[in-house]
Structure 1
């Protein structure tokens, strides 16, 4: 564990780097073979969620060569061909009695979405992840395969930078949130799949402020706020891409909706392979995506002044103090009250337009059993140990 945390902290590119920032690794020490003492730079009452961020994978002490993976999972790595696939065999020493059910799991790399689906329908494979919205809709109706719909807190929001014109005026940010017809965005961009958003991340997760009133489209109020802000005839560029399912579609639909408020939105469709590399974190108006992570983690990674991914250029010292107070509060009721205040601030003044939540859409053969939809990852959260074939 200690080696893993230090290994992550020493990297500039490790995806788990934000997760280890609260830890004082210099003062970390081994207590006994099964315990370590991990001091913090600031109080965190509930530390467990800090370890659920998926890139934070524990590796063996001293491990540097990962060509021969090891672990305590249900399957053992047997073969791996980069760009082609992997073969895993049943672990006879797995600690959960009776599991897994199958002897082998083979994972094939099929980048093309239609080729993936064809392989499933033809019986070449038993399960595929990442069906497109159109594919899921079609095959739900045809009933030739099982379509798994895992509703969860993933988001593909629109971002407005609070320090760049015209979004440095909170009235413009609020107007744009009021322009959004959220049910229409769900229907058009996601073929009706998913759930309506309320400009807050983490629906269904601990601390989510579900009692904050749902925001609805209000074109008259949006026009009023834009007029107040001196932006009656506004022209903006929305940076988008096909990098994420539904991203470009939602941008295009929002641009059409904005015309009702006198706003001209020019959608810039950027290359998917460089979308999160070129102007990301620099544009005034763009799109992003976030997986399912605990609300305190998401806020620390995207909205505090030291956030790694401050996509909305949110710099509020008083907000940072409130976040620190909330995550350090040990009393459940008081902590809930403070996290509510954090989210109400974002709902009132923030730069995220979270119009909806995106589901995981997977396809499985009717012969495959034991797989249940998950809102956190594909194919039942990759719960292969419970899969079995009839």
Structure 2
């Protein structure tokens, strides 16, 4: 494949931005060979226009959902969160931190003290002017002793937060944190008015591009454009309607018939047919997302690492990648750090399907006669049930017996995940290794969905966070990935591309791989062509 063909393929698959495409083509001296229609026809060349109702069909919504930022678990309420709120920091499509409510920040050389300066004159939807007091309240909401927020683990290094006037904040940390701005871009850490509590979270008052008018958890949300939105070039729709449509076929039919404009998690079995449909665009974005199969290691028999290793070797990742993801992804290696992450352990041996080794470990555990229950629903990810059934068949070659338990889609994240001993799961990933490990693998992490504890891993987590020498950090994170691979209760069979579909009447800039739905900010970043 020629250099230009490769660049064109990456550009058309949204794997590189328009700017990256042009700059790399220029560096290679290929600009004269670029088809004029390639750039002029793309939605990225469009000038943003205002107006219209944008309707999103999203997965994962549940009647137990809340708009408390500490408890956001579904695509539906995570996306709604950024329709109505902002962070101090935004993670852009290159997975880099950029100023949002904070206009700038700086750190001491040891990265233990961080100073953030706020933008002035920003108003909440209720008319209150944003100040440092609101930021401190919003961050402390996740830090309390009784807090169950998934962001709590990120913030444990904060010793104190002080104001220096109305628009400056000083964060004092117990140790250096080279990635601290990334943390403040996490979707849980949106800024709300000081004093928000209880049912007031459900009103969704924020500083975001849209004002929440109606919120029915797990069903529907409706918001109108904020006429006082402060961010230039964002928030173009007059209205945004977000619908929870868990069933893939229902989402697909809704997009085909024009009932919605955007859907996440396209059915990969039929994506080739969707690509041929007039009026529909399909995007495949590479990011940090991955599928997992967490085991509760404080429950028998998963407390025995021989059992965990047996199940890890009993899975044919290449077959899952081919049949479930239809090639839209890469094989996983039983740790959560994606190939796009900075410190991905590229030299770590890829785990292969090995029924003999799986049987060896299971015999060593004395559990070949045991039947393992694997709980699954497509609420976990599109094709989760099919994947569970395939795993069951793959494990048979090792003499391992698996019973697939079909769970209801509604309430899956509150009734199955972190409750049942082994289940199917999906993670959007995180832009940094520290964030991913801290939220789901640290011993005391609220979303440690295996209850796994490893002393060496937890020691390295703290050390790597404070290490400013890049080569030393890389070695630490590589060791942590190896520890996860060989000891944790998490099977990571696949890294998935985010395959989504939308009306061709929509336009947008470079699509982010940070999270689904254009980094969960499609309502803010997209617009109708006319």
Aligned to 1:253: 390
What are the equivalent positions in structure 2 for 1:22-171 lying under 5 Å apart? 22-24=157-159, 27-63=160-196, 65=200, 67=203, 69-71=205-207, 73=208, 75-77=209-211, 79-80=213-214, 82=216, 83-89=219-225, 91=227, 94-96=230-232, 99-100=233-234, 102=236, 104-109=238-243, 111=245, 113-142=248-277, 144-171=279-306
CA contact (8 A) 1:156 1:358 kept: yes
| Residue of 312, 317, 322 corresponding to 1:177 | 312
In the alignment, the residues of structure 2 paired with residue 154 and residue 214 of structure 1 have an alpha-carbon distance, to the nearest angstrom, of 18
Could you list the runs of 4 or more consecutive aligned residues of structure 1 that deviate by over 6 angstroms after TM superposition? Answer: none
In the alignment, the residues of structure 2 paired with residue 23 and residue 347 of structure 1 have an alpha-carbon distance, to the nearest angstrom, of 30
Q: Does 1:307 align with 2:460?
A: no
In the alignment, the residues of structure 1 paired with residue 385 and residue 204 of structure 2 have an alpha-carbon distance, to the nearest angstrom, of 39
How many Å apart are 1:303 and its aligned residue? 2.1
| Residue of 286, 289, 293 corresponding to 2:426 | 289
CA contact (8 A) 1:146 1:364 kept: yes
Q: Deviations over 1:48-106 (max 9, x none)?
A: 222122111012334554637341x5x3437446454424337476443xx24845243
CA contact (8 A) 1:369 1:388 kept: yes
Q: Deviations over 1:121-165 (max 9, x none)?
A: 234443333433345343024455111122322222112333433
Q: Does 1:363 align with 2:497?
A: no
Aligned to 1:199: 334
How many Å apart are 1:42 and its aligned residue? 4.4
Aligned to 2:529: 389
Secondary structure of 2:477's counterpart equals helix
In the alignment, the residues of structure 1 paired with residue 429 and residue 443 of structure 2 have an alpha-carbon distance, to the nearest angstrom, of 22
| Residue of 305, 314, 321 corresponding to 2:459 | 321
Q: Deviations over 1:294-331 (max 9, x none)?
A: 32122122222212123223222232112211112121
In the alignment, the residues of structure 2 paired with residue 62 and residue 220 of structure 1 have an alpha-carbon distance, to the nearest angstrom, of 59
Aligned to 2:405: 268
What are the equivalent positions in structure 2 for 1:185-224 lying under 5 Å apart? 185-203=320-338, 204-224=340-360
Q: Deviations over 1:160-204 (max 9, x none)?
A: 333433333323322221111112112223344332211121311
Aligned to 2:362: 226
| Residue of 488, 491, 504 corresponding to 1:350 | 488
In the alignment, the residues of structure 1 paired with residue 388 and residue 292 of structure 2 have an alpha-carbon distance, to the nearest angstrom, of 10
In the alignment, the residues of structure 2 paired with residue 15 and residue 156 of structure 1 have an alpha-carbon distance, to the nearest angstrom, of 19
CA contact (8 A) 2:193 2:205 kept: no
| Residue of 236, 239, 243 corresponding to 2:379 | 243
In the alignment, the residues of structure 1 paired with residue 311 and residue 325 of structure 2 have an alpha-carbon distance, to the nearest angstrom, of 20
Q: Say if 1:160 and 1:125 are closer, same or farther in 2 by CA, change over 3 A.
A: closer
Secondary structure of 2:459's counterpart equals helix
In the alignment, the residues of structure 2 paired with residue 349 and residue 63 of structure 1 have an alpha-carbon distance, to the nearest angstrom, of 41
Secondary structure of 2:341's counterpart equals coil
Q: TM-score normalized by structure 1?
A: 0.86
In the alignment, the residues of structure 2 paired with residue 41 and residue 248 of structure 1 have an alpha-carbon distance, to the nearest angstrom, of 44
How many Å apart are 1:110 and its aligned residue? 5.4
In the alignment, the residues of structure 2 paired with residue 56 and residue 359 of structure 1 have an alpha-carbon distance, to the nearest angstrom, of 25
In the alignment, the residues of structure 1 paired with residue 416 and residue 236 of structure 2 have an alpha-carbon distance, to the nearest angstrom, of 46
Aligned to 2:140: 6
Q: Say if 1:70 and 1:174 are closer, same or farther in 2 by CA, change over 3 A.
A: closer
In the alignment, the residues of structure 2 paired with residue 266 and residue 124 of structure 1 have an alpha-carbon distance, to the nearest angstrom, of 38
Q: Say if 1:195 and 1:141 are closer, same or farther in 2 by CA, change over 3 A.
A: farther
In the alignment, the residues of structure 1 paired with residue 424 and residue 235 of structure 2 have an alpha-carbon distance, to the nearest angstrom, of 41
Q: Say if 1:373 and 1:105 are closer, same or farther in 2 by CA, change over 3 A.
A: same
Name which of structure 1's ranges 27-36 and 256-265 shifts more when overlaid on structure 2: 27-36
Gaps of 5+ in 2: 1-134
Q: Say if 1:176 and 1:76 are closer, same or farther in 2 by CA, change over 3 A.
A: closer
Name which of structure 1's ranges 286-295 and 349-358 shifts more when overlaid on structure 2: 286-295
In the alignment, the residues of structure 2 paired with residue 195 and residue 68 of structure 1 have an alpha-carbon distance, to the nearest angstrom, of 37
In the alignment, the residues of structure 1 paired with residue 299 and residue 492 of structure 2 have an alpha-carbon distance, to the nearest angstrom, of 19
In the alignment, the residues of structure 2 paired with residue 342 and residue 68 of structure 1 have an alpha-carbon distance, to the nearest angstrom, of 38
Q: TM-score normalized by structure 2?
A: 0.65
Name which of structure 1's ranges 282-291 and 235-244 shifts more when overlaid on structure 2: 282-291
Secondary structure of 2:418's counterpart equals coil
Secondary structure of 1:4's counterpart equals helix
In the alignment, the residues of structure 1 paired with residue 170 and residue 162 of structure 2 have an alpha-carbon distance, to the nearest angstrom, of 5
